[in-house]
Chains A and B, each alone.
Chain A
């Protein structure tokens, strides 16, 4: 199975698990004319069923755990998970609380981390490049 087309047509579902919105607006910014990731075939979709990539932000509060898992399940294979922002990666400023279950990689497997608080839009694009490299390596590994 070739991942060639897959990697150049990544549809993204954005999932906020309790972030501060900072990362979320930068994710949106990535779609806008200045950065325009649609040129890479990336689209934001409204349903995880259509998604290839889950963009997760936020430190995962307890209420969100089942939802995060369900969305992960609803996303058809093959899929990638990218965590945007340090609070999703390691909790960031929210590292200690009575209502946290994160970080994200404690709940679902994560492929690419995008550190930053929030990362610049280019950093998010860079993470896409990293994802491509990962996919290409996986493909080489298979063949």
Chain B
């Protein structure tokens, strides 16, 4: 930050860059007048890792599944989900129906975990740590369930092109139902805590308003759009996997409050409703799950060969907790790597709404308003290091740092 920026009247407060909105962390430059925000500029790409390039330079699409999974650690079902669908469309592979159901179940589990995670973070952003703890404590149940079903808490590694890698068997159903019942019994309390609490209402009502018009123009997706009254949900509009068998309805805040304001409060409503919806979807899936194989091609080595020969392009769309994820994949015959891979994460588009959301708000609203689009998570605060020249005496130069680090790597106190 330069000197002018520290200077009075309107000065600029940098937010970020240690923050992973989009696929990458981000930096916001807020022009502030007193406590009010007059302008917002977005600097994306603070930790651009070049994942698409990586994917286009890997040996085979199977490896890229795990890259897709690590586009983001929170929605690491929906990215592989969309990716494998795109590859399947491109290569003309149809996954078995049972696999579609298992995919759906994991995706909805992820939605529950992600929304609870968001609820916690949002509470933390407004300084309500008790709710943060409450939400994250409740979330552990779904984490356990995810670990039980997929083998890991975060990175699930469930997806394979043409199906899923692990089955969900009848014996596992009771354990799953048990967790779902836990959430159903808890839902009332969650709803009371989030929608009725005084301070939460004070901090979220009429904060970060996004009007329907703007939501449409700025191409927002997911709960951000739905909270502004746009009933857009891939699971409803162009259903994929098991969603095509279920009747999904996009959740909008008027279902609870009767009106659509498009503020942070409405986004809370939408996410809460979706938690409930997710529970119902999982239950239906468990009920209707067809028998059969879980992979179109159980032999991975054969699958690799098929993919090398395949030619074509495809698009995969999945409704992530934060909104629609789109992957575009192009395969060329005789080439095992992806010819083109394009990823569109929901935050990518939602981010464009951020200036609209933040303008006119107070500094104190920034964390919660920004977090309300759920840019992965919000560590808008993880910002201390600005580019300002407070760098003080540089204790160690780069060379020395490097030396130190190498030394430390070697020095092993055994």
* A positions within 8 Å CB-CB of B: 14-26, 28-29, 32-34, 46-49, 58-59, 61, 63-64, 67, 69-74, 87, 92-94, 96-100, 105-111, 117-118, 120, 134, 137-138, 141
In chain B, positions 1-60 with a C-beta closer than 8 Å to chain A are 17-20, 24-25, 45-51, 53-54, 57
Chain A residues with CB below 8 A from B382, complex form: 14-16, 46
Q: Is the CB of A22 within 8 A of B154?
A: yes
In the complex, the answer to whether B48 meets A61 with C-beta atoms within 8 Å is yes
Interface size of B in residues (CB-CB distance below 8 Å): 59
Interface of B is mostly: loop
Q: Which residue of A lies closest to B113 (CB)?
A: A25
Sample of 13 more A-B contacts, CB < 8 Å, known A21-B72, A70-B385: A20-B20, A32-B133, A34-B137, A46-B384, A48-B385, A61-B47, A63-B48, A64-B18, A64-B46, A73-B392, A93-B54, A98-B53, A118-B153
- Which chain B residues lie closer than 8 Å to A67 at the CB level? 17-18, 385
Report whether B50 and A99 are in contact in the complex, using a CB–CB cutoff of 8 Å: yes
Is the Cβ of B384 less than 8 Å from the Cβ of A96?
Answer: no
Out of A16, A34, A111, name the residue touching B20 (CB < 8 Å).
A16
> In the complex, are the beta carbons of B47 and A16 less than 8 A apart?
yes
Asked whether, in the complex, the Cβ of A61 is within 8 Å of the Cβ of B49, the reply is: yes
Task: Give min CB distance, A88 to chain B, whole Å.
Answer: 12
Alpha-carbon separation in the docked complex, A95 to B385 (Å): 26
Number of A-B contacts (CB under 8 A): 167
A23 to nearest B CB, angstroms?
A: 7
**B391→A97 contact, CB < 8 A:** no
Task: Find chain A residues with CB under 8 A from B18 CB.
Answer: 15-17, 64, 67
Q: Which residue of A lies closest to B135 (CB)?
A: A32
Contact of B407 with A by CB under 8 A: yes
A77 nearest CB across to chain B (Å): 9
Name the contact of A134 in the complex, choosing from B45, B71, B413 (C-beta under 8 A). B413
Chain B's closest residue to A134 (CB) is: B413
Please give me the residue from chain A that is nearest to B413 by CB atom.
A137
Residue of B nearest to A92 (CB): B70
> Residues of A contacting B72 with CB < 8 Å?
20-22
Q: Which residue on B lies nearest to A26, using beta carbons?
A: B154
Query: How far is the CB of A21 from the nearest CB of chain B, in Å?
Result: 4
User: Are B54 and A97 neighbours in the complex by a CB distance under 8 Å?
Assistant: yes
Q: Kindly state whether residue B159 has any CB partner on chain A within 8 Å.
A: no
* CB–CB A22/B155 < 8 A: yes
B17 and A97 contact, CB distance less than 8 A: no
Instruction: Give the CA-CA distance A97 to B47 in the complex, in Å.
Output: 12
**A residues less than 8 Å from B73 (CB atoms):** 19-25, 118
B62 to chain A, nearest CB (A): 12
Check: B180 CB closer than 8 A to any chain A CB. no
Instruction: State in angstroms the CA–CA spacing of A100 and B47 once bound together.
Output: 9
**Interface residue B401 (Cβ < 8 Å from any Cβ of A):** yes
Once bound together, how far apart are the Cα atoms of A117 and B156, in whole Å?
Answer: 10
Q: Is the CB of B401 within 8 A of A21?
A: no
Is the CB–CB distance between A106 and B54 below 8 Å? no
